[in-house]
Amino acid sequence: MLGALDLVDVVMIANLLIMVTLGGYETFVSRLEIDDHPDQPEWLDHLDAGAMKVKLALSLIGISSIHLLRTFIDPDKQTQSAVMWQVIIHLTLLVSALAIAYTNRLLIKERSK
């Protein structure tokens, strides 16, 4: 089970790196012009700086969830204090992501007026 979680963790980190690279390039440097390409990621269609922040926050939450699940599967390897801090950090990431998403939603509503 821990081996499978390690594999999922590596894949999520790789996806995060791809998202940061492509999204950062698309947002801050130049358009990729791959609109007609069949392998274009669907999240790249409607990407702006706010949406990129939300997607990054959600990816970090996913990675944190995997690490927290690994801790809960084999809790004897961690001290109670370490587990508590992992939970606090995970909850902080959740609250931050919700705040970022809410702020982005307010900004989108403001722009559409």
pLDDT in tens, 43-86: 656 666 777 788 888 888 988 988 898 888 888 888 889 989 99
Biggest CA–CA distance in the chain, Å, is: 54
Does 90 or 75 have the greater pLDDT score? 90
Q: What are phi and psi of 34, to 5 degrees?
A: -120, 35
Render pLDDT for 1-19 as a digit per residue (tens, 0 to 9). Answer: 777 778 888 888 887 787 7
Q: How far apart are CA 19 and CA 15, in angstroms?
A: 6
**Residue 40's pLDDT band (cuts 50, 70, 90):** low
pLDDT at 47: 63
Model's pTM, two decimal places? 0.69
In this model, does residue 38 exceed pLDDT 80?
Answer: no
Nearest-angstrom CA–CA distance, 29 and 26: 6
Q: Rounded distance, CA 50 to CA 104, Å?
A: 6
The sign of the torsion formed by the CA atoms of 45, 46, 49, 50 equals negative
More confident of the two residues 105 and 44: 105
